């Protein structure tokens, strides 16, 4: 695969007093178009309101900081859900669902990263939004004649109703919205906090990995992908491995920094780069990846295009591909002595996905 896998920051498409929105586009990262994935990042300033909208892509959001009240109307439901999202929450949003986002805090920002499936999007590789209010909203595409008739009001009233909001995407309110009451029940099957997801792998001084599937968030059952939450301890290593089920992984660095290497076809190094908070990069199907965290550690949020990912570890570990090969086959394949093979199998037997920092 000759595509450039270089990690990228989001490109700002809107910035105002109420907040900002940045996106990753298939035009800048070809893997997004090839794998039909997309990403974005929403930041709401105090009293910022993201106007009501729907999206052409099913996606998952991971709350990076702050708290926000979110209105959500799912297709077929007759009552809007009101959610309270907090740092560490994972929320699943089905394409076509109507949402609005509001930061009711007066002294702190709210930010959330989105990763999603753009297979059915207007432009595969990009998540598009359709707003029901503000300049550039969908109602701007209809004449006042149509709008007034649809609403049963006069044309002058329709013009005032749909033409009074000069803002777009995100606006800043002058005072708090009254009467909004979030319900935990409204988030059932849609939201889970990372702290409540059981770790699948937990290596002391190495790292922690957890998967969010339809077992934790029922809405993911219709998405065709799962969510990965990974934390690498300072200077620890995520050992080389790949997904055996042809899954693609899209990764957002939520905290810290590290060095990433990705091995592609024909022994080529497809990527060797330093990444840090805010960067997005991807792992193509069957390519192998390894990460070494920086001095402050590294955390990432990812989606994997498989509901039950089949991760295979290549090096180290009792179940790694090399460790399970018979010693004589390994000696012949690597053209090395039995002592080196024994060293490899002995030293690597205790490691599972993560390796603590080297003591040397």
Instruction: Give me the percent of the chain exceeding a pLDDT of 90.
Output: 85
Model-level pTM greater than 0.85?
A: yes
Q: Mind listing the pLDDT tens digit for each residue in 266-276?
A: 889 999 999 99
Alpha-carbon distances, residue 62 vs 65, 82, 125, 174, 228 (angstroms): 9, 17, 19, 28, 11
Please give the Cα distance from 49 to 57 (Å, whole number): 21
Instruction: Tell me the CA end-to-end span of the chain in Å, nearest whole number.
Output: 36
Please give the Cα distance from 29 to 295 (Å, whole number): 28
Q: Mind listing the pLDDT tens digit for each residue in 315-349?
A: 876 667 777 888 899 899 999 999 988 888 777 65
Cβ contacts of residue 222 below 8 Å, gap of 6+?
58, 94
Q: Mind listing the pLDDT tens digit for each residue in 250-307?
A: 999 999 999 999 999 888 999 999 999 999 999 999 999 999 999 999 999 999 999 9
Specify whether the CB–CB gap between 69 and 105 falls below 8 A. Answer: no
pLDDT of residue 1: 41
pLDDT of residue 353: 85
> pLDDT-based confidence at 151, cuts 50/70/90?
very high
Phi, psi of 161, deg, nearest 5: -65, -45
Mean pLDDT of 229-254: 96
Query: What's the distance, CA 242 to chain centroid?
Result: 19
Give the number of C-alpha atoms closer than 13 A to the C-alpha of residue 51, restricted to the C-beta side: 19
């Amino acid at each position: 695969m000759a595509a450039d896998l270089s990690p990228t920051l989001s490109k700002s498409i809107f910035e105002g007093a109420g907040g900002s929105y940045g996106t990753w586009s298939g035009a800048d990262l070809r893997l997004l178009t090839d794998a039909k994935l997309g990403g974005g990042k929403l930041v709401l300033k105090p009293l910022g309101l993201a106007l009501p909208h729907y999206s052409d892509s099913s996606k998952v959001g991971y709350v990076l900081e702050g708290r926000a009240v979110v209105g959500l109307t799912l297709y077929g439901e007759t009552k809007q859900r009101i959610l309270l999202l907090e740092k560490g929450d994972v929320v699943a949003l089905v394409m076509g669902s109507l949402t609005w986002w509001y930061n009711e805090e007066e002294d702190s920002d709210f930010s959330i990263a989105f990763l999603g499936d753009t297979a059915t999007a207007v432009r595969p590789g990009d998540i598009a939004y359709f707003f029901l209010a503000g300049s550039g909203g969908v109602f701007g595409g209809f004449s006042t004649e149509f709008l007034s008739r649809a609403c049963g009001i006069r044309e002058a009233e329709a013009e005032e109703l749909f033409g009074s909001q000069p803002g777009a995407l995100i606006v800043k309110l002058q005072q708090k919205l009254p009467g909004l009451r979030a319900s935990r029940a409204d988030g059932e099957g849609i939201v889970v906090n990372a702290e409540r997801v059981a770790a699948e792998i937990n290596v002391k001084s190495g790292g922690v990995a957890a998967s969010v599937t339809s077992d934790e968030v029922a809405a993911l059952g219709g998405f065709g992908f799962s969510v990965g939450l990974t934390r690498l301890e300072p200077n620890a290593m995520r050992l080389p491995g790949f997904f055996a089920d042809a899954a693609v992984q899209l990764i957002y660095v939520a905290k810290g920094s590290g060095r990433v290497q990705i091995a592609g076809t024909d022994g080529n190094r497809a990527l060797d780069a330093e990444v840090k908070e805010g960067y997005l990069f991807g792992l193509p199907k069957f390519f192998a990846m390894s990460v070494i965290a920086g001095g402050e550690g590294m955390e990432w949020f990812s989606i994997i295009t498989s509901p039950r990912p089949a991760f295979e570890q290549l090096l180290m570990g009792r179940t790694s591909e090399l460790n399970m090969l018979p010693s004589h086959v390994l000696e012949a394949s690597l053209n090395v002595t039995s002592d080196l093979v024994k060293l490899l199998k002995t030293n690597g037997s205790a490691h599972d996905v993560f390796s603590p920092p080297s003591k040397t």
